[in-house]
């Protein structure tokens, strides 16, 4: 065998071994995105649960429910709220992993499983919503992309709270903002005086005497009145079922937009987005949604007011803009 033939055969043998090795190698695992730990709370985020609130005649009851587990429809939101504040004061970034929930504490951690494709994602709750039909959670655009339903818009999901991680997030948020913890005023203390009481004096035995018979009075005629028939209730599809013992709180009419000075904070084509902003602005005063038609198009304007005067309106406008709502403006009727 010549040196040249030996070298050629060695090269061919090496190529065959390399090809055999490649053919027997296991398939590559899919790339999994690294998600930032959900327990790292931004310093500006406050811990918040909130009071019961009403949207479109439906009442929601926020609570620290660490056994929460529910199946329903998930949706997502993005550019309309990008860069603005969430319901607990954090900055919403549609490219981060976060979500809005109508009742869970903020912040808290949940595992969201897309039941249509089996994907699961750990998500940080830091906002309120959605307020539409049977939707139970509203994801950021990035979260929807990772769960694989950003193009479809909605998905059938299961949402389960991570109790231990959620409580850790609560403690971190309260530690960063101790002023948000409830303050209980101490009762005033007074000097206690001690006195010696005299011994009790013996009491004479009192003979039991029969009581005089009570004079019977004639029975009074009881007047009866017919009660009005209960008003029919509207069957709200997808409305949350009231918790046991709470009952149904009657709906209150929306605030009227009479003459005065207002701060308009946004206008939306989706009513659910308008209601989300309405709830976020409750801390600034009386916020409400005003439906209007512009160029044959239905819009939902979110306003604050009426306000006392222009000086108050300017102050409210400044606070609203500091929360990221740069399009806010003062309007007058």
**Chain segment 107-116, per-residue pLDDT in tens:** 999 999 999 9
- Which CATH number is 85's domain given? 2.40.40.10
pLDDT band for 12, please (50, 70, 90 cuts).
low
Q: Tell me the C-alpha distance between 178 and 173, whole Å.
A: 8
With respect to residue 169, please indicate whether it lies within any of the assigned structural domains. Answer: yes
Q: Tell me the C-alpha distance between 76 and 27, whole Å.
A: 33
Q: Average model confidence (pLDDT) for the chain?
A: 76
Q: What is the mean pLDDT of residues 72-88?
A: 91
pLDDT score of 269 more than 50: yes
With respect to residue 213, please indicate whether it lies within any of the assigned structural domains. Answer: no
Burial call 245-274: b when 16+ CB within 10 Å, e when fewer: eeeeeeeeeeeebeeebbbbbbbbebbbbb
With respect to residue 203, please indicate whether it lies within any of the assigned structural domains. Answer: no
Check: pTM over 0.85? Answer yes or no: no
pLDDT score of 143 more than 90: yes
Among 178, 207, 222, where does a domain finish?
Answer: 178
Secondary structure (3-state) at 12: helix
Bigger pLDDT: 306 or 215? 306
Domain that holds residue 310: 261-332
Number of structural domains (the chain) is: 2
| Residue 23: CB atoms within 10 Å | 7
With respect to residue 269, please indicate whether it lies within any of the assigned structural domains. Answer: yes
With respect to residue 319, please indicate whether it lies within any of the assigned structural domains. Answer: yes
Q: Please tell me which of 23-27, 73-77, 252-256, 258-262 the model is most confident about, judged by mean pLDDT.
A: 73-77
Secondary structure (3-state) at 70: strand
With respect to residue 139, please indicate whether it lies within any of the assigned structural domains. Answer: yes
Q: What is the mean pLDDT of residues 130-137?
A: 88
Among 129, 159, 178, where does a domain finish?
Answer: 178
Mean pLDDT lowest for which of 169-173, 240-244, 303-307?
240-244
pLDDT band for 212, please (50, 70, 90 cuts).
low
Same domain, 269 and 173: no
pLDDT score of 100 more than 80: yes
pLDDT score of 49 more than 60: yes
- Which CATH number is 289's domain given? 3.30.70.1070
Residue 176 buriedness (CB in 10 A; 0-12 / 13-18 / 19+): middle
With respect to residue 93, please indicate whether it lies within any of the assigned structural domains. Answer: yes
Same domain, 170 and 57: yes
Same domain, 159 and 64: yes
pLDDT band for 217, please (50, 70, 90 cuts).
low
With respect to residue 64, please indicate whether it lies within any of the assigned structural domains. Answer: yes
pLDDT band for 55, please (50, 70, 90 cuts).
confident
Same domain, 174 and 273: no
Among 128, 152, 178, where does a domain finish?
Answer: 178
Q: Tell me the C-alpha distance between 163 and 273, whole Å.
A: 29
């Amino acid at each position: 065998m010549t040196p040249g033939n030996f070298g050629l055969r060695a090269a061919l043998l090496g190529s065959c071994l390399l090809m055999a090795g490649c053919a027997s190698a296991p398939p590559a695992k899919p790339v999994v995105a690294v998600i930032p730990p959900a327990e790292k709370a931004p310093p500006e985020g406050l811990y918040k649960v909130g009071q019961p609130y009403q949207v479109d005649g439906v009442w929601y009851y926020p609570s620290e429910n660490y056994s929460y587990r529910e199946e329903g429809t998930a949706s997502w939101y993005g550019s309309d709220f990008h860069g603005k504040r969430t319901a607990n004061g954090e900055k919403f970034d549609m490219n981060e992993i976060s979500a809005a929930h109508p009742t869970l504490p903020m912040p808290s951690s949940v595992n969201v499983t897309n039941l249509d494709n089996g994907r699961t994602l750990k998500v940080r709750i830091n906002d309120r919503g959605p307020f539409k039909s049977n939707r139970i959670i509203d994801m950021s655009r990035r979260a929807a992309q990772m769960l694989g339903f950003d193009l479809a818009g909605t998905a059938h999901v299961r949402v389960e709270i991570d109790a231990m991680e959620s409580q850790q997030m609560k403690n971190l948020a309260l530690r960063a903002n101790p002023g948000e913890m409830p303050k209980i005023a101490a009762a005033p203390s007074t000097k206690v005086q001690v006195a010696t009481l005299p011994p009790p004096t013996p009491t004479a035995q009192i003979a039991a005497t029969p009581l005089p018979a009570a004079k019977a009075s004639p029975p009074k005629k009881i007047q009866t009145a017919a009660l009005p028939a209960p008003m029919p209730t509207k069957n709200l599809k997808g409305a949350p079922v009231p918790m046991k013992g709470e009952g149904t709180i009657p709906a209150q009419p929306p605030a009227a937009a009479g003459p005065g000075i207002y701060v308009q904070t946004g206008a939306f084509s989706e009513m659910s987005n308008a209601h989300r902003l309405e709830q976020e602005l409750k801390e600034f005063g009386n916020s409400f949604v005003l439906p209007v038609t512009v160029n044959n198009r239905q819009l939902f304007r979110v306003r604050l007011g009426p306000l006392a005067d222009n000086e108050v309106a300017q102050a409210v406008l400044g606070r609203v803009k500091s929360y990221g709502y740069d399009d806010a403006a003062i309007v007058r009727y």
